[in-house]
Each structure stands twice: as structure tokens, then as C-alpha cells.
Structure 1
Amino acid sequence: MRLLVLGGRGFIGKKLVDALAEKSYQIDVLTRSQTESFRTNNLNPKLIKCNLLDSEFCFDDLVGQYDVIFNCAGELHDESLMHPLHVEATRKLVDAYKRVAQKQNRTIHWVQLSSVGAYGPNHPKANAERMVKEETIPAPIGEYEVTKTLADEIIEKAADEFFSYSILRPSNVYGAEMSNNSIRQLAAMIKKGLFFYIGKSDAVSNYVHVDDVVDALILCGFDSRAKGQIFNLSNDCDQTIVINALAESLGVPVPRLRFNESFVRFIAFIFSWLPTFPLKKSRIDALVGRTHYDTSKIESLLQFKPSRDVEKTIIDVIK
């Protein structure tokens, strides 16, 4: 069985490539640079130099030899590249795979790494209790979330006897090698004694360890029960669990101060003209959130549940 990984140089993609290599699969990794390297306990994967945004690239030449495609590609920073990469390149690749699969009379399986961002933020109140299931109507906000959701729709609509798919939507993915600094910034506030809770005491943290995401992606790639399915993946916990774990790891007292949400939002509004003022609306929304992502579908259908305890592993990010 031959596999192709798109986005194999990213935080999740690299972990996926390493895990697949340990299982002795034949892996090709699409990359814009052939200087990439991967730490594996097996043969190094083959690197294919390719820019998916190249208008001259012939997608049919790429796709003919693969049985499973893992799409972990994503543009996190440059909004002008998000639609071309997430939507246009996905459409071209899917169309090419379908043509080749039909010509070769075989099935190709596509595993899409998506995000719970497809469901959008909580409205009208950020602190309202909410349970998000796979059936929840998508309502993405922001160019990244919108374009990734459009890619999901392209993949869903493409399904036929020659093309199958699985879509995985994890929440906030964390791990020691993550490039996103949100957890490190949170830890810095705790270390300086500047962190305080906002609003109600039952706020929820939505995290899932990168190794759990990789395990779920592999299940989606090879378990026939995952075909044609969308799965949410999150290891939700009380916000205090994350805060206390970080504080104890840093050797500082656990924060106990809590302010009224309306008061904090008023202060944030007054100082919103200051670019460096840390209390932005988006940050407050995140700290008061009580959204849960229901993972009962992947638990019941694939018998999969995140096994990395957030309390014990969140500290790896700041070591």
C-alpha cells in the first residue's frame, strides 16, 4: 500500500509521517523543498518536490500511484494563500484522483485534517453552554476556518464508488513541538502572577494531544468503518485543570483570583485602542467558553478515545 502525505512538514504532518514510517508503510511526502528531513525508525519517506499553488503543475501526474492520501496541508498565516491552497488546490487534486481512480478501476481514500473551527464560535454569548456534534451546522468565521470548511464540502461531494473520504476535526492541538505560542503565553502570565479567571467557574478548555490526533488520522486511513464519516476529536477538561497543571509545573502558586466578566470586558473596551493591551475580545471569549465537542461518534464507531491526559501532558509544551 502506497501513501501520500500533504503538509508533511507541519506540526501534525511530521508526527503523522513518523508514525506511518514506524508501521513500515511506503510513504511519499509532498513538499516545496527537498531539504526536509524526518526522524523515523524506519526507511526515510520519499520527498516529492511540488508546489500545489503552481498553475503549471499537472496533478494527474502526481496521483496515479497512491491508495491513501492524508491531507494535513494548511496555510496558517498568509490569508491570500488560504483559498488557493485549501480550496482550489484541493478541488484540483480531488478531481485528478477521481479521474485516475476511475481509469484504473480502483478506490482511492482521502483523509482530511480539518478543524472544529468549521462550527464557528459560540453565538450570541461566548460563555453560553454549547454541545457541538458532527451534525452541528457549520458556521465558520475567519478566512482559515471558512476555506478549510469549503475544502471539507468539496471532499464530501466528491464521494463515489472510486473516491472515499474521512474528515477529522480536532480542537486545539498541542504538543512539545507546536509552533502556536498560545499555551506558552498563558504560562508566562501564570509565572508572572498576572493570570486571573474571568466569569463563571465552569469554563472549559478544548485541547487534544498531537499524538491522539495522529492515531485518529491513521484509524481514518485504514479502518473501513471510517469511510464517508466526519469525526470530532477533543479531550475537553475544566479550565482549572490546565491552569493548575501549568502553575505547578512552573513552581508558582495556582491562580485563584476571579473577576466579573462584564467588568473585564468593560476594561478591555476602554483600553482597546492600545495595540499591546493583552485583554482582547477574542482572548476573553476563549477564557469564558463553555463549549464541549462531542466525541461519542468516534468512540462508538471506531472505539477510539484520546489517551493522553491533558493535565499530565500540557506541561510538555513549556519544558
Structure 2
Amino acid sequence: MRVLLTGGTGFIGEALVPALLEKGYTVCVLSRRPAPAESAKVEYVQTLDAITESIDAVINLAGASLAAKRWSVAYKKEIVGSRLELTRELGEYFRKSGDAPSVWLNASAIGYYGSRGDEELNESSTAGEGFSAQLCRDWEAAAAEAAGDARLCLMRLGVVLDAGGGAYPQMAQPFKMGLANWIGDGRQWLSWIHRDDVVSAFCYALDNAEIMGPLNVTAPNPTTSRGFCDAMRMVHRTLLALPMPGFVMRAMVGEMADELLVSGQRVLPASLEVSGFSFALPTLNAALEAIES
């Protein structure tokens, strides 16, 4: 099977590429960045027109980071455009080529559900409100149109943890400096997942023809901001423990604080678990030990 991967040079993509190769897939990465030096086993293209062979599956990860900078009007437009425009371009490319893929895995996020307090959320839960929720709804709708008759999986990612990228380095920095902290009252939920399990979930969805629709790609044991703090103190020696007030976060990063930091979602991976998927790192303690070892 030949897989077209967008966002293949990003935090998740860089771990997914070798996993796909190990499983025997042929990989074509669409990226604006130049091909890495060690790319002999992977075809890198900078435009869709440069693809030379038929594509059997699409994994669409590309999109500007939600946490890279303050959400100005211009940057929110970039966040939306980077997802919707490429997804539509992919759909148009396959319609014109007449050589459509049979399976399409499209990234999304648990921001789809909005801020819901302590409510347990699964794939049958309704969409929420706010910029993130609207972004996810629009991206999933664009993916459904682009995928056509392909088997479509909407991979609603939680907070992906691992060393060397994603949110974890910033989350861990205060603890490495001896300061244990949590955000606001610490009761907001953090639905996290280790990057290794993200990669496994994508490969699992790719391999299993009966899996389709929304998939919450989160660990089965979400925690709270205070719970994350307690777990981090098990792997880092800290001298002080202080909350980071919500108003300080709002002053620092604006609207993003309310949607990504001060509030949260208690999301469960119901569809993955029912299908028989096995998490390698289902608990936060195990995930942190793996990251810090």
C-alpha cells in the first residue's frame, strides 16, 4: 500500500514515517520543506503534481500549530486556511486524477467538543462552541467531502506528549526548574496521549477496514491539571508548588488560554477501546517515565 502523508515532517509525522515503513508501506510525504538527507526510502514531494505513482491511502496531518503564537485575527486565519485549503486541494487532486485512495485518515482534535467541565465525552458526544470547536467541525467536513467514497477516519487528537516536540517541553520546563505548577484551580481536564500510542492508533486505523468515523485518540485515563502536576513531581524534584492563575495565562496568550489552557475536556477513546486497540502507555505515570527515561 502506498501512503500519502501530509505534515510528515512535523512532531507526529516524523514518528509515523518510520512506523509505516516498518509495516511495509511505501510512503510519499507532501511537505514544503526540503527532503531530509536520510530520505532514500521515502519519496518527498513539494506539490501534488509531483506525485508519480498511485496513492492507496491518505494521512492528512498538515496544519499550523494552535499553540505556536497568540491568536491574532491573521493567525487564526492561517490556522484555518492551512487545514481547509490543503484538504480541499487534496480532494480536487484525486477527483481530477480519477485515482482516488481507498482509505483516508484525517487529523482533527478533541477541541471539537469545546469546554464541557467534568462531562465524560466520547465519539457520540455533540460538538461544542468556540474557535477550536468550529475549526474541527469545518476541517472534518472538508475531509468528508475530499475523501469521497474512501473509508474515512477522523482522528481527534488529545494533547500529545513526548520529548523533543509538541506541548511537553513547555509543560515540563517549570518542573525542571524546581517549580511545580498547575493552571487556575487545577480541576480542568487534560486528555493526553503519548506519541507512541498516537502512531500505533494511526497504523491500527489504517490496517483495520471495519474502523471508520470519529476516533478519539487519547489515553484511557485522562487527568486534571493538578493531577498532571502531581505526576510530574514523581519524576522531577521540585522546591515550590504554585498555581498559575487563569488571568495571568489570559494576559500572556489571550484567547488561546481560555480554549486550550484554562478549560479542558474529559475525553475517552471509546471507539478505539471497543475495537480492541491496546494502549502501550495507558497511564500518565507510565508515559512520563518513558519520556524521562
TM-score normalised by structure 1 residue count: 0.74
Pair 68,138 (structure 1): closer, same or farther in 2 beyond 3 Å? same
**Cα RMSD, aligned residues only:** 3.4
TM superposition shift of 1:298: 1.6
Pair 98,203 (structure 1): closer, same or farther in 2 beyond 3 Å? same
Structure 2 equivalent of residue 86 of structure 1: 83
Tell me if the contact between 2:8 and 2:17 (Cα under 8 Å) persists in the aligned partners: yes
Pair 281,84 (structure 1): closer, same or farther in 2 beyond 3 Å? closer
CA distance in 2, matches of 1:85, 1:135: 27
Pair 119,237 (structure 1): closer, same or farther in 2 beyond 3 Å? closer
CA distance in 1, matches of 2:233, 2:130: 32
Alignment of 1:151-162 (within 5 A): 151-158=139-146, 160-161=148-149
1:206 to 181, 191, 200: 191
TM superposition shift of 1:167: 1.1
Tell me if the contact between 1:168 and 1:233 (Cα under 8 Å) persists in the aligned partners: yes
Structure 2 equivalent of residue 307 of structure 1: 280
TM superposition shift of 1:133: 2.0
Secondary structure class of the residue paired with 1:69: strand
Pair 217,254 (structure 1): closer, same or farther in 2 beyond 3 Å? farther
Match status 1:73 vs 2:56: no
CA distance in 1, matches of 2:287, 2:46: 35
Match status 1:221 vs 2:206: yes
Moved over 6 A (4+): 271-274
Tell me if the contact between 1:220 and 1:226 (Cα under 8 Å) persists in the aligned partners: yes
CA distance in 1, matches of 2:137, 2:223: 28
Structure 1 equivalent of residue 41 of structure 2: 44
Structure 2 equivalent of residue 23 of structure 1: 23
Structure 1: which 5+ residue stretches go unaligned? 51-58, 123-127
Secondary structure class of the residue paired with 1:208: strand
Tell me if the contact between 2:235 and 2:288 (Cα under 8 Å) persists in the aligned partners: no
TM-score normalised by structure 2 residue count: 0.79
User: Number of residues paired by the alignment?
Assistant: 279
Structure 2 equivalent of residue 164 of structure 1: 151
Amino acid at match of 1:285: V
Secondary structure class of the residue paired with 2:235: helix
CA distance in 1, matches of 2:249, 2:111: 25
TM superposition shift of 1:139: 2.9
Match status 1:174 vs 2:148: no
Alignment of 1:1-319 (within 5 A): 1-37=1-37, 44-50=41-47, 59=48, 62=51, 65-76=54-65, 77=68, 78-100=75-97, 103-104=98-99, 107-122=101-116, 128-139=117-128, 141-142=130-131, 146-158=134-146, 160-161=148-149, 163-180=150-167, 181-188=169-176, 191-192=178-179, 195=181, 199=185, 204-227=189-212, 229-235=213-219, 236-239=221-224, 241-252=227-238, 255=241, 268=247, 285-286=262-263, 289=264, 291-301=265-275, 303-308=276-281, 309-315=283-289
TM superposition shift of 1:91: 1.1
Deviations 1:187-225 (A, max 9, x none): 257x235x368548x654311011111111111222101
Percentage of pairs with the same residue: 19
TM superposition shift of 1:185: 3.8
Deviations 1:5-54 (A, max 9, x none): 11001000111101111122211111112242569xxx63121123xxxx
Deviations 1:86-137 (A, max 9, x none): 112211211322343xx35x65321111111122223xxxxx3212222222
Structure 2: which 5+ residue stretches go unaligned? 69-74
Tell me if the contact between 1:208 and 1:306 (Cα under 8 Å) persists in the aligned partners: no
CA distance in 2, matches of 1:24, 1:137: 37
TM superposition shift of 1:273: 9.5
Deviations 1:168-203 (A, max 9, x none): 1121111112243442245257x235x368548x65
Pair 192,254 (structure 1): closer, same or farther in 2 beyond 3 Å? closer
TM superposition shift of 1:305: 3.8
